[in-house]
Structure 1
Amino acid sequence: MTDRRSELAANLALVEERIASACAAAGRKREEVTLIVVTKTYPAGDVRLLYELGVRHVAENRDQDAAPKAAACSDLDLSWHFVGQLQTNKVRSVASYADVVQSVDRLKLVTALSAAAVREERELGCLIQVALDAGSGERGARGGIAPDGIEELAAALEEAPGLRLDGLMTVAPLAGPYAGRQQAAFERLMEFSSRLRAGHPAANMVSAGMSADLEEAVAAGATHVRVGTAVLGLRPRLG
């Protein structure tokens, strides 16, 4: 376990250095960017080690993995982010432990999350996942709503009991006009964020960037970066 702790500490230090350098290059303060460590496929023991090393935000993308892990770490003061595509039949479970759901991309999900949050007597932060590879009325290949659907979803979230509209999230698209152009994609997301904040000033969270492109996200103005592999190492193949 000591070896694993040392490995995680070294990886975290490198990621911290990358974020700090990106902030300096962009003329931003380091505290403007929050690191979320994506712990999917890794055990609760790693989450505990990360907590000891100062991590306070962790993310998961599959409820069947996240729920038992969150329960095993319920004594820790962590913020749990759900970042995967979310089916309505998993909403009740996710609402019991997640502090922020970053992948809200349809009205049906808003309704289900609201009912679950009220039942759990919790307030859930919600990010609208924007798909930069989706045309009007479509969903992205990796989830997310087309940009022209942002405002309708934002209005629904603001009115939904138990939910809080926190901002926007995107995953750099693999296809379409922004494929391979991460910085341009993240800058486009920031434009959507500016428009959103005009009508919803508190929705100022912008989640973008992962291990390979966190610098581009910081340069564009992201407030949160989601880093997994660079902290925890290459994931084992599933199946």
Structure 2
Amino acid sequence: MNKTLKLAAAYIGVTLMLAGCGKPQDAVIPNDMSTWDKDLAPKIQKLSDEDKKLLTGYLMRAKMGEAFGGKGVPIGTTVGQGIEEQKKWVAEQEAKAAEEKALKEKIERERAAAAEAIGKAVTVALIEKKELASNYRAGRYGEEQVFKIAVKNNSEKEIAGVSGELEFIDVFDKTVGSVTFSISEKIKAGAEYVWVGSRRYNQFIDSQRAVWNLEDGKYKTRFKPETVVFADGAKLGSPQ
């Protein structure tokens, strides 16, 4: 009998010892977040650095989700399951980031190709920039900026329209402002067209004020193409 009791006691002792040495991944994450520091932290300390990082990320997402009305950590979720869920989430985020990067690079390549094609089709140059004071007799009730922009058709086809933006760059090679334009006039192959446009000057807009104060010979311009429409319906344009 004593031998039987000793064997039973030994069995219970081994069982308790094995239970105490269980893998931290098998521990169930408490649903009460207030107990995490006391009940969960000791188990987390037994994890590898990588698993600690993954579990911490999972728990942070759970906390944030619960704060915004989410369900938090599902009941019965183990540390190991939390780590695996975080691995899946990280992989999904990396895949999403890779897709976004690939799309961005694709759009940038398309824009560069379109800009090059438009640059070959037309030459755009600023002929004149001037500032006009208000003149009530002339019907000008505020100061205006006037721009004259020349467009030359370098292609072999008639152009029906051109649109884009002309950037103003100061002596420090800094873009300080710009003006957009849209021409809906036919320009024959090899011909030129001069567009004249104006805008009401607003001294409280930094870019307008900077362009207003640029002195002749102390700045340059750069054409940022948007679209060229040919008379036959063909079109060159940058993707949005």
User: Scaled by the length of structure 2, what TM-score is found?
Assistant: 0.23
Select the structure that is richer in strand.
2
Bigger RCO (CA 8 Å, 6+ sep): 1
